[in-house]
């Protein structure tokens, strides 16, 4: 599979990104990481950290000139990371998809499903992932930085 295949399937649409859009997504990521490490419930910390991760996935997809076309936006944005960064990122995409499902549960179904360990693990992942995304941008789309 490739992003072009996803476009042909109607899952993505072509839409060039701007430098300002990428900047704004990275600023949202920074804000969310600060908030996720605050003194709030583990559920909210997890949800905010998940949003920070999603923004980094969005940076990758938007930098490649795509946006989800309809439905399953979070899922498609997350799963695209292995198409963009390489197959070695498939496990990380699966991890983030599991985080997506946990975030949906804590947001819509019941409180208390995120633990401090879940939060710590996700925050560490997002910090490391941000470094990867920024390096990838420098190497592949320096005009967007």
Question: Could you tell me the pLDDT band of residue 71, with boundaries at 50, 70 and 90?
Answer: confident
Q: Do 100 and 74 contact (CB within 8 A), yes or no?
A: yes
pLDDT at 1: 85
Please state the domain extents for the chain. 3-9+17-144
CA–CA gap between residue 27 and residue 145 (Å, rounded): 12
Is residue 70 scored above 90 in pLDDT? no
CATH 1.20.1050.10 fits 3-9+17-144, yes or no: no
Q: How far is CA 77 from CA 28, 43, 53, 98, in A?
A: 16, 22, 10, 14
pLDDT at 130: 98
Q: What is the mean pLDDT of the chain?
A: 96
Q: Do 57 and 26 contact (CB within 8 A), yes or no?
A: no
Q: Do 19 and 145 contact (CB within 8 A), yes or no?
A: yes
Of all helices (H) and strands (E), which one includes residue 14? strand 12-14
CA–CA gap between residue 96 and residue 90 (Å, rounded): 10
The tokens 């179904």 sit on which residue?
109
Segment 119-144 shows an average pLDDT of 98
């Amino acid at each position: 599979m490739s992003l072009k295949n996803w476009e042909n399937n109607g899952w993505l649409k072509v839409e060039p990104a701007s430098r300002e859009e990428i900047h704004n997504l990275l600023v949202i990521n920074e804000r969310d990481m600060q908030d996720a490490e605050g003194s709030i419930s583990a559920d909210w910390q997890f949800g905010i950290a998940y949003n920070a991760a999603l923004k980094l996935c969005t940076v990758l997809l938007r930098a490649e000139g795509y946006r989800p076309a309809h439905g399953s936006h979070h899922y498609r944005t997350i799963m695209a990371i292995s198409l963009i960064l390489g197959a070695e990122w498939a496990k990380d995409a699966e991890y983030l998809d599991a985080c997506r499902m946990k975030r949906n549960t804590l947001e819509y179904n019941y409180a208390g499903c995120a633990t401090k360990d879940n939060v710590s693990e996700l925050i560490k992942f997002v910090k490391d992932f941000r470094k990867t995304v920024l390096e990838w941008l420098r190497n592949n789309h320096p005009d967007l930085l």
